[in-house]
Copies of this chain bind each other. A is one copy, B any other.
């Protein structure tokens, strides 16, 4: 939505809220809709083509207001997670529409999703041990794995979950492979540790590297270990047919996360998480006091047992608005444009003999550096960020200092790529001319 359209639609929405406040006493205190009412009012998948704001706006009164905050908040979330799951071509088993045990939920961030997966996996294995009457000190033997390239939130989830975390080495493509995982599991089991969770990453923060989730999934199945996939950033790209192959292997996962707030124009926070067996979640999270009991239990998921907080916000509304106004094609075009711009930047870097590309460019992230010392690259990065015309962030690979260039704004155009490259060249030339580094 461009500025002027936002100006118009935003004011229409303000009027809607003001009218609601004025007329609130005319409405029922609690809705009288039946469970599942929203499915009868909206389609079961996202539109291919974008719709107008007017079409979306009139559905707020038609679809949402009869169900008010509850059950509309829960039901729209269920449908939106199914819409998104279908866009990603997730296996049916993850969707509510399969009528099985799977389904999706909105968490705040991928950190929360990872922690929720870890706590569910921990509860599952501890329950098994309890059933088998093994006792004492079990918790401190639990161990989870991810690649050394995984996001810091995996290590943090391990700390908060009170279990060991073991970062595993990667291959030359910065990918965690099945054989590495397999031998770690065997070694740790021999020591008396209990492997219970593997977090595979699709699109690491450092370099947008991809773990081999097919191999990891097979090891996890064989070893009976929970397999969680974190595709926080890269996940949005999987709605494009040309990138969907990167998600092959997801069928072996127990849970999967990607963040629409990262690359799908849905405002922060909105982290989508799917789970194969919702009982695993609910058993880890369910406490049920009398003041929270209701007469629809069992008819519809109680999302409060799918997350850490009790209260929930109506975050599916923003997914609904964005998915409808862009349509699947519009969202795909957004991703494709960014990947195109990243390749445009890659080409500029490649053509300049002073620079090198450090990792293959697959999505919107370009990792590059000046050929030369770390000190040189650190100084260039420092000066660029100090000038404040563009902002870049660093990473490290095998002790080497690397600069990260990320295409992520909805408004980024080819001219911005050229502008950024000019800025990088200007600073680099200055630093190289000084010649001290």
Hey, which bits of chain A sit against chain B, CB under 8 A? 2-4, 6-7, 10-11, 14-15, 17-19, 21-22, 24, 28-30, 32, 108-109, 111-112, 115, 119, 122-123, 136-140, 151-153, 155-156, 159-162, 205-206, 268-269, 284-285, 287-292, 308-311, 313, 385, 388-391, 393-396, 404, 411
Contacts and interface: CB of A to CB of B under 8 A. Distances in A.
11 contacts: A6-B17, A6-B21, A29-B388, A29-B390, A30-B385, A111-B311, A112-B309, A268-B313, A269-B309, A269-B311, A269-B313
Contacts of A162: 122, 139, 161-162
Nearest to A309: B109
Contact of A156 (B10, B285, B290): B285
Nearest to A382: B295
A156 B17 contact: no
A309 B32 contact: no
Given A3-B19, A152-B292, 8 more contacts: A6-B17, A10-B11, A11-B14, A29-B390, A111-B308, A136-B140, A153-B310, A162-B162
> Which residue, of A32, A138, A268, A287, has the highest number of chain B Cβ atoms within 10 A?
A287
A305 to B, nearest CB: 9
Nearest to A396: B290
Contacts of A156: 285, 287, 310
A120 to B, nearest CB: 10
Contacts of A393: 291
A115 B287 CA distance: 14
Nearest to A292: B152
B411 A160 contact: no
A9 to B, nearest CB: 9
A2 B396 CA distance: 54
Contacts of A206: 291
A303 to B, nearest CB: 13
A103 to B, nearest CB: 20
Contacts of A287: 152-153, 155-156, 159
Contacts of A291: 205-206, 393-395, 404
Contacts of A411: 24
Nearest to A108: B309
| CB-CB nearest 4 A-B residue pairs | A137-B137, A10-B14, A7-B18, A109-B309
A166 to B, nearest CB: 14
A137 to B, nearest CB: 3
A310 B155 contact: no
B14 A160 contact: no
A318 to B, nearest CB: 13
B394 A308 contact: no
A392 to B, nearest CB: 10
A160 B285 contact: yes
A18 B4 contact: yes
A111 B269 contact: no
A308 B308 contact: yes
A6 B11 CA distance: 11
Nearest to A107: B309
A124 to B, nearest CB: 13
A22 to B, nearest CB: 4
A152 B288 contact: yes
B6 A14 contact: yes
Contact of A388 (B24, B32, B310): B32
Contact of A159 (B14, B151, B285, B404): B285
A2 to B, nearest CB: 8
